[in-house]
Structure 1
Amino acid sequence: MRAMQVTELGQPLALRDIAKPVAGGGQVVVKVHTCGLNFGDLLIIKGTYQEKPQLPFTLGMELCGTVTEVGEGVSRLKVGQRIAAYCGFDALAEYAAISADVCVAIPDEMSDEHAAAFLIAYGTSHVALDYKAHLKPGERLLVLGASGGVGLTAVELGKLIGAEVIAVARGAEKLAVAQSMGADHLIDSDTDDIRAVVKSLGGADVVYDPIGGAQFKAALRACRPEARLIPLGFASGEVPQIPANHLLVKNLTVIGFYWGGYTRVNPKVLTDSFEVLTKWYVEGKIKPHVSNVLPLAQANEALDLLRTRKATGKVVVRIE
């Protein structure tokens, strides 16, 4: 089968012919239809992600596909069943052998492209805002990186929860996408003073931050007393150092959050979240924004859309 593999850290993926996998105990083999790309994929290629698989390996954290083989001990999934999965690796291939525990059934109403764009982006934002930050209707939510894969879902879900949403993104085109998802206020990170604008609006109750760096520092200083800050990524390349005296004076709370970690420490958090999100999708309350769909052979070009920040929402690779 064909797979897009990392053969050397920091280098483009190589399209290779490798052996088709077989299902081990507790696994299923999935014929992959689509793979959703994530910022974490770029970190994996560089070798700076939390998990570092042995070279060579197949890239791709999340997929949509159809079960073609069921391994020993698996009773929940059946051959022919359509699923989405957060697998961490192996999704940029024609077939993938993955743990049955990371697979979820998807409704017929959900397209392959939406299914591959759903789990990580919506799951991250929903668990962060609802389970971790306890965002309430009427609160003011500041979303940094608001046009990206996770940021755009934070805007959409924050508005659905009933918050007043401030979206920060780069340029009028990306801000327009955030506005289309429900943002009440727009801040251009290239030209506007984030701290000044947010303070003029009354300050932030919750800060959702996949960016880090200078934007986190500005957001910290624009928080209202008892605000909650959620650092969940560092797309700027700078991990901010948090001055404890600022936390003390305003009674602020910084909430560490890694969505993928819940697959090990408390998977029920994720399954409960996905149940809610799927219901909202079927009811038409949420809809993934997929800006680009490319074929498997163009996975490097698809990754470049993330790397150069030319994409909005999600980039999906279709396995032809």
Structure 2
Amino acid sequence: MRAVLCRDAGGIDSLKVEEVAAPDMIAGGVRIAVEAAGVSFANLLVIAGRHQNKPPNPFVPGTEIAGIVIEVAEGVGHVQPGDRVCAGLPWGGFAEEAVVDGDNVFRIPAGLGYDAATQFPTIYATAYGALTWRARLQPGEVLLVHGAAGASGLAAVEVGKALGATVIATAGSDEKLAVARAHGAYHCIDYGKTDFRDAVLELTGGLGADVIFDPVGGDVFDKSLRCIAPEGRIIPMGFAGGRIPQVPANLLLVKNIDVIGVYWGYYMAWGKTRASAAKRARVRELYAEMFALFEQGKLAPLTYRSLPLDRFAEALRLVENRSVMGKIVLVPYASEAQP
């Protein structure tokens, strides 16, 4: 099969498409013909050796896929060959086939396309789990979402609106803010033109946001601590801004706020984590809830572009440059000539 191969930690230019052996089946596994694979900022970190997941070299990047089941291991009963599914995996997605732990494979609704389905294994699941399980977002609360036009930010905007929150979105251009507004943001702030701290405080009558979803980090996180409401919750989702911020403990004390970590790989038993039957059941319930919201029209994953596997470098650079709105996906079986 064809796959994007990383032989040593490095940059995008160190990768290339190669013919490799199809992955071996594993106990409890599901083999999937990959119709679409999501491209993310986390992929860049893994390729560079700067992610908490450190696969053995050589490896195939890619953590979120959608496709068709072509084989199941003995004992797997919730999916069967021919099923349309999405799946999350610690690596191995940028390929024509992938073998995935069956507990991390989910049948998708009939109306959900493969490109959009790639956003559910980690992007929407992280946003939904973060805002419901961890931050306990309530109807009527104010949710501030940074990087609101990216895949993670848009998912948080949509989930927040579906949960009944008033969503404030920040982004760096009018075009990106228009996308965030179209997906459910009630207030939009261009942080390149306006101090979002002052704007959030003005919009909330000086109280601040109850929950802050931050995939940017750096200075954005620091400033967020200055516009969070008492008893607010801030979720550092990632550090696309390049700097991992530090939290002054005195602010946690005087404002009664929580800083909440969410690593979705924990719930999918990636790396050294383990998943109990109760945790697996909880995750399946979460996916059922998300797919129900999709069928109600409340979640609408945005695909920025679909590119053939051979153009993986172009896709990764678009993510690296933070120019993607929504999600960019690789289509392993597409022609290299696809626009």
Shorter-chain TM range is over 0.9
- Per the alignment, in what secondary structure is the counterpart of residue 211 of structure 2? strand
Query: Match for residue 221 of structure 1?
Result: 226
Query: Match for residue 151 of structure 1?
Result: 153
Contact 1:117–1:290 at 8 Å: present in 2 too?
A: no
Residues 153-172 of structure 1 aligned to structure 2 (within 5 Å): 153-172=155-174
Query: Match for residue 273 of structure 1?
Result: 286
Deviation at 1:251, TM superposition (A): 0.9
CA–CA separation in structure 2 for the residues paired with 1:272 and 1:305: 34
Query: Match for residue 261 of structure 2?
Result: 256
Deviation at 1:311, TM superposition (A): 0.6
Query: Match for residue 245 of structure 2?
Result: 240
Deviation per CA, 1:61-104: give whole Å up to 9, x if none: 01111111222332332122221100121111111122111111
Deviation at 1:191, TM superposition (A): 2.3
Deviation per CA, 1:5-36: give whole Å up to 9, x if none: 11222232210000123323211221111101
- Per the alignment, in what secondary structure is the counterpart of residue 268 of structure 2? helix
CA–CA separation in structure 2 for the residues paired with 1:293 and 1:245: 46
Query: TM (normalized to structure 1)?
Result: 0.96
- Per the alignment, in what secondary structure is the counterpart of residue 298 of structure 1? helix
What amino acid does structure 2 have at the position aligned with 1:303?
L
Query: Match for residue 6 of structure 2?
Result: 6
Gaps of 5+ in 1: none
Deviation per CA, 1:102-147: give whole Å up to 9, x if none: 1111121111111112221111111111111111111111101111
Deviation at 1:158, TM superposition (A): 0.9
CA–CA separation in structure 1 for the residues paired with 2:282 and 2:148: 24
Query: Match for residue 312 of structure 1?
Result: 325
What amino acid does structure 2 have at the position aligned with 1:267?
R
Q: Which of these residues, 286, 302, 312, is aligned with residue 299 of structure 1?
A: 312
Query: TM (normalized to structure 2)?
Result: 0.91
Deviation at 1:308, TM superposition (A): 0.4
- Kindly tell me: are residues 143 and 119 of structure 1, through their superposed partners in 2, closer, same or farther at Cα, counting changes over 3 Å? same
What amino acid does structure 1 have at the position aligned with 2:120?
F
Deviation at 1:208, TM superposition (A): 0.6
Query: Match for residue 105 of structure 2?
Result: 103
Deviation per CA, 1:151-200: give whole Å up to 9, x if none: 11111111121111110111111111111111111111222212111111
- Per the alignment, in what secondary structure is the counterpart of residue 303 of structure 1? helix
Contact 1:169–1:175 at 8 Å: present in 2 too?
A: yes
Asked if 1:188 corresponds to 2:190, the answer is yes
Query: Match for residue 128 of structure 2?
Result: 126
Contact 2:30–2:105 at 8 Å: present in 1 too?
A: no
- Kindly tell me: are residues 234 and 269 of structure 1, through their superposed partners in 2, closer, same or farther at Cα, counting changes over 3 Å? farther
- Per the alignment, in what secondary structure is the counterpart of residue 57 of structure 1? coil
Query: Match for residue 15 of structure 1?
Result: 17
Deviation at 1:290, TM superposition (A): 0.8
CA–CA separation in structure 1 for the residues paired with 2:119 and 2:255: 37
CA–CA separation in structure 2 for the residues paired with 1:65 and 1:307: 26
Contact 1:28–1:71 at 8 Å: present in 2 too?
A: yes
Query: Match for residue 67 of structure 1?
Result: 69
- Per the alignment, in what secondary structure is the counterpart of residue 127 of structure 1? helix
Query: Between the two proteins, what is the percent identity of the paired residues?
Result: 42
Deviation at 1:150, TM superposition (A): 0.7
Query: Match for residue 337 of structure 2?
Result: none
Query: Match for residue 213 of structure 2?
Result: 208
CA–CA separation in structure 1 for the residues paired with 2:310 and 2:285: 35
Contact 2:32–2:99 at 8 Å: present in 1 too?
A: yes
Contact 2:87–2:121 at 8 Å: present in 1 too?
A: yes
Q: Which of these residues, 87, 90, 93, is aligned with residue 89 of structure 2?
A: 87
Gaps of 5+ in 2: 270-274, 334-339
RMSD (CA atoms)? 1.3
What amino acid does structure 2 have at the position aligned with 1:249?
V
